[in-house]
Amino acid sequence: MLLRVTRQHMRKIISKSSLGAFLGGAFVASQFTSVASAEGEKHHALSPAEWRSFRVLSNEKLTHNTHLVRFEFPSENDTSGMKVASFIMAKASVNGKNVIKPYTPTSAPTQTGFLDLVVKGYPDGALSKHIVELQPGEALDMKGPLLKFAYQPNSRKHIGLVAGGSGITPMLQVALEILRNPDDHTQVTLIFANNTEDDIILRDELAAYESMYPGLKVIHILSNPSESWTGLKGFVNKELLEKHMPAPATDSLVCVCGPPGMMAAVSGGKAKDFSQGQLEGMLKELNYTSDMVFKF
């Protein structure tokens, strides 16, 4: 399901509840869809209809600029209500102004009692910098979950994921939804691009998942590695995509999430109204079509 997201829709999400109708097929919707709209909010700590405040339980530094921040739910039995693939909106007052940004939790949708956000603290990112500096007991406002597309088990034979930097978080959500379901036989291949070894978010966790799940393959590529790096070097290129991503087919899907430069080169960026926009870049050159690619 490829959702058509506009700037107007985003404004509605930020202000009041704006829940898109979830239309019949698994890959069609007119705007962000509320997960809770279909199944109610019972036992869900989050709400797509209102901002709710959650206190920090812990703040763990993962890399030189990335933190895992854990937020406590009101009840230890609460779950987030997240589905795949969905996200939350986070809001905080920074220098007297409300700043809002979407994030994808890395904790499992079934996790009770808390929610984890992996956040890269950009020097010029007002909200991300604020979040990574939060201390236990301090709070952050959240609204959601909001659905990007509804994944259906075995709907694709092979799903390729191309992530750059903090773009790993929605990819991990999709991958784990597949891998943790023993009845889902979808193959998952992740290309994860970073600058240096120190920039690889959740590196140990990815290695553990790859060992644990035969259906997962992870390929790291670094643009500025140390001399001791034995993996791939450079940027995501056409040869890498052709070798590791599923071949263009109706039962294949390639998801892309990363910084603007990577998005432009691989798939083309999203449109100004937050919709998918035209498929461009290397994936278009490799004969993929828009229904075979999803841009986060």
Closest CA to 87 of 60, 63, 57, 117: 117
Burial group, residue 113, by CB count within 10 angstroms (0-12, 13-18, 19+): middle
128 annotated among ligand-binding-site residues:
yes
Query: Sign of the C-alpha dihedral, residues 153, 115, 295, 267?
Result: negative
Quote the distance between the C-alpha of residue 217 and its chain's center: 18
Task: Give every CB contact of residue 170 below 8 A, 6+ residues apart in sequence.
Answer: 85, 87, 104, 148, 255, 257, 296
Residues 6+ apart with CB under 8 A from 96: none
Residues 6+ apart with CB under 8 A from 162: 190, 191, 193, 236, 241, 245, 254, 255, 256, 257, 258, 262, 266, 267
Contact criterion met (CB below 8 Å) for 14 and 90: no
Cα distance between residue 251 and residue 175, in whole Å: 16
Per-residue DSSP letter, 210: H
288 assigned to a ligand binding site: no
To the question of whether residue 254 is assigned a binding role by annotation, the answer is no
Task: List the end-to-end C-alpha distance of the chain, in Å, as a whole number.
Answer: 12
169 annotated among ligand-binding-site residues: yes
| Two structure tokens written together for 144 | 């959601």
Binding site per annotation, positions for FAD: 102-103, 118, 120, 128, 169
Binding site per annotation, positions: 102-103, 118, 120, 128, 169
